[in-house]
Amino acid sequence: MVFETINATGKPLSEADKIRNFILMNESLENQKKVFKHWVGIEINTHFDPKEGTTEFIRNYLIFKREKFHKKSNVYKDFKDYVSEVLKQHKNSKERFEEKIYFLEELKEFSTYYNWLADSEEKYKDLDDTIKNYLKVLRDIKQTTCYPYLLGLINHWKKEEIDDTTIKTILEFIINFLIRRLICKSDTNVYTDLFPAVNRRIKENMEKEDDYLNAFYRVFANLIPAESMPKDDDLVNIVSRPRHNFYSNLNTCKYVFEKLVNKDPDLDTDGKIKMDNINIEHIMPKKLQRYWIDMVSGDTEESRKYVEIQENYLNSLGNLTVTSKKFNSSMSNKSFGDKKELYAKSNIHLNNYFKDIDIWNAKQIIERSKILANKICKIFKYPKILIELKTDSQENKAIENDKSYIKNTLKKYNTLKEAIYFFKYELFGDYKIDTRNIEPCKYKIEDNEIIIRNRRTWAELLKNITDYIYNYYDYVIKSMANSKSSCIMYEDEIERRFSSNKDKIKQNLIGKINGKEVFLNTVLATKTILEHIDIMLSKCNIEHTFEVKMENKVPIDEIIKPQK
């Protein structure tokens, strides 16, 4: 007997188990053996992840075939719908079974491609070393949302519809595309719509007599700004900003520094140093001793200036370097002079930069951030062909897409993550979204819908949520207010400012909250307020219950503004 929800022992089935049972259903014992033979091949190819491998493969296969995102929890249902649609085109059982076998043969072939993409053991011997290395990079930087497109790309290659040069060029481009966006903190949620549609968009462009590679480039040349590849100037400007955290995604950070060490474009290096043998080192350390406080503060009369400088630039690209693992633990809080001596012994050319530097402060960090960012631009190149293939109508198309994006956002309640993305939305073209004329009007929290009746401002929303948390989860606010530090950093370095001592709050403050003098800084950017709310609600384990509804104060046309 084949079960659809539980196995013979009564344990719940995985999505892959349900799919296996579904394809075996209603078949004779002889046919079941034929089906099972193909299924075993699929499981072998995905066995590198015994719990989720087969389910994840089928989810990516469905995304590739149906050109839309599929949730892991719905894989069985979506697969069942897809296969049923394919099989119902055949009238008799013999034709349906033949189609099922044909389908399973294709599924098994694609499971081989997925194995190449996702299996870190790299047992496949018949794959070109360069392609292997590109696929390893995607695993190392944990960028798997491109897998549905890559399944199709590899399929084209195996059918000899594209040559070795084309697949290598595209894989290199995708890595550069993803690395640049990761560095610039571009939103990754757009990939769930972008990559499933790439194959279709390429086909549409190939109908215009483009070859595959040109059609691919044309697709990426004409993405809307939220999806596009950051240009050189954008990347350099972003990594040089205060509070840009290059260290937060350690996988990307290590990979980029490995390239900077081994493939420095300005020195024509070709090193073999592996990141397994080196560590990422903060030059200005996390804990500042008196020596560092004096150096970082410089001549300023403000005694706590070093706190702001450290918060702004600790994790900046320019404040990071690489050292041998044997040196890293001994370095930590050493003086800059002592670190320079150890850097000189590291035999890593990247550290030669410091030999003529006598002080290390914000100015030096910003300068080095720009130098390294320009090297990164040369390593992870922005292809000139993207500029050449951009259509004349793209600017107007981008504006219309942005208008549509704003309208769709304002139509509905938005989760915190959706709202945060909306307010950090950055365009790398000639236009931007002016969100200053977007205001909150309602919000939901723990099944309560609340209308903001007074001032519809984001500061008012922050005060309302803070008041709510204090009423029902007062320990969260008290723990923040009782902190000894006036500037406490979240995991992602969003500044929070709560205090029971008004002298600690330098900006505007809200008075009493439920009779207790807890001072709250509301003079914050909208995105920061939303991230602040997210952290507070997360500490109460209720962030998933919060949604906000927004309205525009001016017409949508007035919210799309030319960049100055």
Q: Measured between alpha carbons, how far is 54 from 18 in angstroms, rounded to an integer?
A: 11
Taking the C-alpha atoms of 486, 491, 495 and 496 in order, what is their torsion angle to the nearest 10 degrees?
-60
Q: Measured between alpha carbons, how far is 138 from 558 in angstroms, rounded to an integer?
A: 40
Residue holding tokens 């890595």? 175
Q: Measured between alpha carbons, how far is 110 from 45 in angstroms, rounded to an integer?
A: 9
Q: Measured between alpha carbons, how far is 58 from 118 in angstroms, rounded to an integer?
A: 13
Per-residue pLDDT of the chain (564 residues; tens, 9 = 90+): 444 555 555 567 888 888 888 888 888 898 889 889 989 999 998 887 777 889 999 999 999 999 888 888 888 899 888 888 888 877 788 888 888 889 899 999 999 999 999 887 766 667 888 999 999 999 999 999 999 999 999 999 999 999 999 999 999 999 999 999 999 888 888 888 889 989 888 988 887 666 899 999 999 998 877 788 999 999 999 999 888 899 988 889 999 999 998 887 776 666 667 767 778 889 999 888 888 888 888 765 555 678 888 888 999 999 999 887 766 566 677 888 888 888 888 778 888 899 889 999 999 999 999 999 999 999 999 999 988 887 755 556 666 666 777 888 888 898 888 888 788 765 545 567 777 889 999 999 988 888 887 778 888 888 888 888 877 887 776 666 554 443 333 333 333 455 445 454 444 444 454 555 656 777 778 888 888 888 888 888 888 889 999 998 888 888 877 665
Distances from the Cα of 132 to the Cα of 105, 115, 116, 214, angstroms: 24, 11, 8, 24
Q: What string of DSSP letters covers 30-57?
A: HHHHHHHHHHHHHHHHTTTSTTTHHHHH
Query: What is the CA 228 to chain-centroid distance, rounded?
Result: 14
Give the CA diameter of the chain: 87
Residue holding tokens 């990141």? 275
- Cite the DSSP H helix spans in 284-434: 290-297, 305-313, 325-331, 336-345, 362-379, 384-388, 394-411, 416-424
Q: Is 501 helix (H, G, I), strand (E, B) or coil?
A: coil
- Quick check: 336 and 359 in contact, CB under 8 A? yes
Q: Measured between alpha carbons, how far is 533 from 461 in angstroms, rounded to an integer?
A: 9
* Pairing, β 547-552 against β 414-415: antiparallel
Q: Measured between alpha carbons, how far is 6 from 9 in angstroms, rounded to an integer?
A: 8
pLDDT for the residue numbered 122 = 63
What tokens were used for 306? 């070093």
What tokens were used for 527? 């995105």
- Quick check: 517 and 500 in contact, CB under 8 A? yes
Q: Measured between alpha carbons, how far is 108 from 42 in angstroms, rounded to an integer?
A: 5
What tokens were used for 87? 């099989």
The number of residues making up the chain comes to 564
What tokens were used for 217? 């480039």
Beta pairing partners, 489: 495
- Quick check: 421 and 189 in contact, CB under 8 A? yes
CB atoms closer than 10 angstroms to residue 443: 23
Q: Measured between alpha carbons, how far is 315 from 38 in angstroms, rounded to an integer?
A: 50
**What is the distance in angstroms between the CA of the first residue and the CA of the last residue of the chain?**
69
Q: Measured between alpha carbons, how far is 184 from 238 in angstroms, rounded to an integer?
A: 6
